[in-house]
């Protein structure tokens, strides 16, 4: 009996340690992997650990700063139109551009969190309206809703009638995304939408 209790305690301590170290280890490894990948872009030209990462980050910030000037903004606009009209390149360029703009910048999409009923039954899913007007698809009074998948960066897009949409007003878009991606295990707290940095950035 004593051996059984000792075994159970050992398993309990192991699981408890795993719960503590798992998220920490995975997060640190992800940070290290990103750091090493970016830092390795300038190797072997620059083989000082960390220096390549700093140079690349500084260069990205510099590009963002320079792009705010009128002349550079015009040049980038010409380049943007050129890439969007070049056969063979425009499809990839437009996709990547829209993908990045969905998460950052003035065109950020995942800010309008809603509950969407995409089935015939009374089952509601957490999603985000990405297009308010689907009339170009011949669908009047319909919206495009992105539904993220649990424990995945993937998701699905549905064209849903406005009658089957319920706005989420008591929690922020960030908390809604965490709730959906975590499979519903993340605790949600009632807060003000104005306090959500994701929404605030979208209005800049």
Q: How far is CA 12 from CA 21, 22, 161, 185, in A?
A: 14, 15, 49, 21
More confident residue, 52 or 4: 52
128 neighbors 111 (Cβ within 8 angstroms)? yes
Residue 202 has pLDDT above 50, yes or no: no
184 inside domain: yes
Instruction: For residue 15, say if its preceding peptide bond is cis, omega within 30 degrees of 0.
Output: no
Give the tens place of pLDDT for each residue, 64-105.
788 777 777 788 788 888 888 888 788 788 877 776 666 565
Question: Between 70-85 and 90-103, two packed helices, what is the crossing angle to 10 degrees?
Answer: 130
Burial pattern 65-92, b for ≥16 Cβ within 10 A else e, equals eeeeeeeeeeeeeeeeeeeeeeeeeeee
> Alpha helices of the chain — where are they, by DSSP H?
2-39, 51-66, 70-85, 90-103, 173-181, 197-202
194 inside domain: yes
131 inside domain: yes
Position 128 scores a pLDDT of 93
Residues 6+ apart with CB under 8 A from 97: 80
Q: Decide: pTM greater than 0.75.
A: no
The count of other CB atoms within 10 Å of the CB of residue 45 is 7
61 inside domain: no
43 inside domain: no
83 inside domain: no
53: tokens are: 């990462």
Position 115 scores a pLDDT of 95
Total domains in the fold of the chain: 1
Residues 6+ apart with CB under 8 A from 24: none
146 inside domain: yes
Position 192 scores a pLDDT of 46
Q: State the residue range of the domain holding 140.
A: 113-202
Position 147 scores a pLDDT of 93
> Alpha carbon 155 to chain centroid distance?
11
Give the tens place of pLDDT for each residue, 4-42.
778 788 888 888 888 778 878 887 888 888 888 888 887
């Amino acid at each position: 009996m004593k051996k059984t209790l000792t075994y159970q305690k050992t398993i309990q301590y192991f699981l408890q340690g795993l719960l503590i170290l798992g998220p920490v280890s995975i997060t640190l490894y992800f940070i290290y992997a990103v750091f090493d990948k970016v830092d390795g872009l300038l190797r072997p030209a620059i083989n000082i650990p960390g220096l390549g990462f700093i140079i690349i980050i500084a260069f990205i910030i510099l590009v963002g700063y320079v792009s705010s000037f009128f002349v550079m903004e015009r040049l980038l606009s010409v380049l943007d139109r050129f890439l969007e009209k070049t056969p063979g390149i425009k499809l990839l360029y437009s996709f990547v551009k829209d993908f990045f703009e969905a998460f950052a910048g003035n065109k950020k999409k995942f800010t309008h969190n809603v509950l969407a009923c995409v089935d015939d039954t009374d089952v509601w899913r957490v999603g985000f309206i990405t297009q308010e007007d689907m009339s170009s698809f011949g669908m009047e009074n319909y919206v495009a809703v992105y539904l993220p998948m649990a424990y995945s960066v993937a998701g699905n897009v549905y064209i849903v009638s406005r009658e089957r949409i319920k706005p989420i007003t008591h929690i922020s878009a960030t908390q809604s995304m965490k709730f959906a991606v975590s499979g519903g295990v993340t605790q949600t707290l009632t807060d003000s939408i104005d306090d959500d940095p994701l929404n605030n950035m979208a209005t800049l």
